[in-house]
Structure 1
């Protein structure tokens, strides 16, 4: 099938995709391989958040921060001298990874025969869009627009920087305050503190890093505070204001001063600019209302994937899998329901916090009988040889059969080890199955044998 022009001057495609991160191009390429006419657009540079403003640049910065942090911890144990981060050099290093992303993504899509447009897409009808000044119609529309920081709805919100701003700054401010006690604040706070900034995290409630095991979060908070990061809970921000050459944050009856304030209070689907109502696409407080096949319940021509999908999780592998699921459902009529039950995730600090599967609170709420294995492992060799300070685990198994249902790790190499547990959950393995393995020694993964 080929692109066509209708009587109104609109260009018609079999599929129009909005968003060029991980999910959008996956949908576009799969349908194009079936001979469909496909167009794609983005209001920002091609490549999406992960490759340019998220996981990839963050991990580049984290790798350097982790190296410096480790050198400092081991000073006097074989490491001598001073180790520090040159921020401008680090940002240049990051750009070696992010700089080529847009050109590569655009070239690859064009080579595949996909029409590459640029501009904000807005619905003008159920199967009609306006992209910039161009009118487009399509049999199917894929929304893969990612996520954006949620509105804080406080005075002075315009003074608050985003994680995008943090990753682009040429010099490091002396004092950085993060609003929100989630993943962004802990990861970027760790990087900034390792680079020499004074870091404060303010969180509105008592529970930090919601979704992660509270016992391990507590150990991570201890480690962060030892590093010099100030973490304040039950401290909702009521306003931000300019005060001379710095910024002030008002929270309860306290005032915090900083040179930069960063939004780390959560993200929401980036769909506000799409004029969804004109496309007959219904929403609720979570985002676009979709069925299990990621299809709009009110407009069956529309599918949603990636961070814009309220059913999924804001992770790049999930976005890619969503893209594959949506493509199959568009092509073959709703045959695939995505499975989010064993998706690992990690907080890249030092130590690393990682999780997959069921948590203890969720097990209790769902009345699932579990056996819980938990320990503080700061005295284990893996942790002591790096002077890491804190480590631990919480592992949940099915009480009747012993199958692994959830794993939560804090420590060296936890971001790699968690993948073994993810595979175990997917394949229905027991803890005994893992402990029968002859793991390489001495490695962090060998510590699985010590879980009791």
Structure 2
């Protein structure tokens, strides 16, 4: 390990690895540090492993939807086999990523980095110096400040469970809680409870489509409780008692596992940013549009920064801007966010892009709302999907797509096509004029605008 570098990247995930490679390829001496194996949350503890579990439970959903339609099957999930399947991806990623970084001439280091000055950090008792730093440490589960918080399992721990508990409670009603609740119930858990303190889960998503997802979730057998604030968690033997405050009184949920699903916050607590002169807020490290912090020699990107949406592709885009500006020696590039879709990978999936109806009204825009339930459409009938719909906002006069909101199979790819169309400035009429392969989920889009 050297004691001095041109660049030290703190964080071995999507927002950091691209910057490390870009600068190393330009001949810089670079080190990449992570307190965990390199790969980041998405590849190792989030998006990718989660979707591998969902892929297995999709088989259960498919068989249920095709019951009485010619498919005779009663599938069941073997939890240990499913997690072993997940590990075929997650176990191989860190060595692949770290070997790739080393091949590029990057020193791969492990440990908790801590700034000791504007150009120095401490790592495992050693002092390292660099001309520049790039921070991409991601996010961590938010602190709830409730009695018994230490009994909460994280999403990482849920993904690593060797066996599936029978009774699981999820604190929160966001992405993590809703997706994992669906996985747990389709995997055979007898009792799955979601405790959301607001009026409904998935606040940023379209309320009409979320209402349909709530129906599907409750039909699945998940006990979804809203206006449910978790007050404390107690452990009695092998059980957990979750005290929940609701408008009509206090309730207790008894379970075998309580999972933290209330959201994540920037993972910057242990960096000692004050020593580096790096300003931050509760939203993360303060950066300008060039991804530069208040210390001109330090950049940041991804979930740890107070920048764009906390999504993996966003962190990659921000990292590219940071890397180009590092190499340019000035703020030559500014991050520009195209329309960014977001998807909840429950079954059915819910996707959103652009403005909601409320946000469009707040901006004083005039628009038409195209909203229809589509369980009678061929693409839904073909796969036995019960709850499918779309809501698309089209600006009057210009024909521009202001927002697209989808629920049902294929939503995760349909929303990407809407993102491409909106990014290219295509109008509703231009989308209608497109000729897609038929029958396909894509071919439905022209009928949605």
* Category of TM-score, reference length = shorter chain: over 0.9
Q: Equivalences for 1:26-425 in 2 at 5 Å?
A: 26-197=18-189, 198-252=191-245, 253-296=250-293, 298-332=294-328, 333-425=330-422
Q: Contact (CA 8 Å) 2:283, 2:305: kept in 1 or not? A: no
Q: Offset of 1:381 from its aligned partner?
A: 2.2
CA distance in 1 between partners of 2:333 and 2:357 (Å) = 29
CA contact (8 A) 1:383 1:389 kept: yes
Kindly state the Cα deviation for residue 331 of structure 1 after the two structures are TM-superposed.
1.7
Deviation, 1:155, is 0.3
Deviation (angstroms), 1:285: 1.9
- The CA deviation string for residues 292-350 of structure 1, in whole angstroms up to 9 with x for no partner, is 22211x21111111111221222111111111011012222112222234111211111
Provide the C-alpha distance between the structure 2 equivalents of 1:341 and 1:215, rounded to a whole number of angstroms. Answer: 25
Report the aligned-residue RMSD: 1.3
| 1:434 correspondence with 2:434 | no
**Comparing 247-256 with 372-381, which one deviates more in the overlay?**
372-381
* d(CA) in 1 for partners of 2:19, 2:252: 48
Q: Which stretches in structure 2 are left out of the alignment for 5+ residues?
A: none
d(CA) in 2 for partners of 1:312 and 1:133? 34
Separation (CA, whole Å) in 2 of partners of 1:43 and 1:215: 42
Taking the aligned partners of 1:157 and 1:210, their CA distance within structure 2 comes to 24
- Unmatched 5+ residue regions in structure 1? 5-10
| 1:4-43 superposed matches below 5 A | 11-43=3-35
Q: Distance in 2 between matches of 1:204 and 1:68?
A: 30
2-structure distance, mates of 1:72, 1:217: 22
Q: 1:350–1:388: 8 Å Cα contact kept in structure 2?
A: no
TM-score with structure 1 setting the length: 0.95
CA shift, 1:384, in A, is: 2.5
Q: In the aligned structure 2, how far is the partner of 1:339 from the partner of 1:217? A: 29
The equivalent of 1:8 in structure 2 is none
Return the TM-score normalized by structure 2.
0.96
Q: What is the aligned residue count?
A: 443
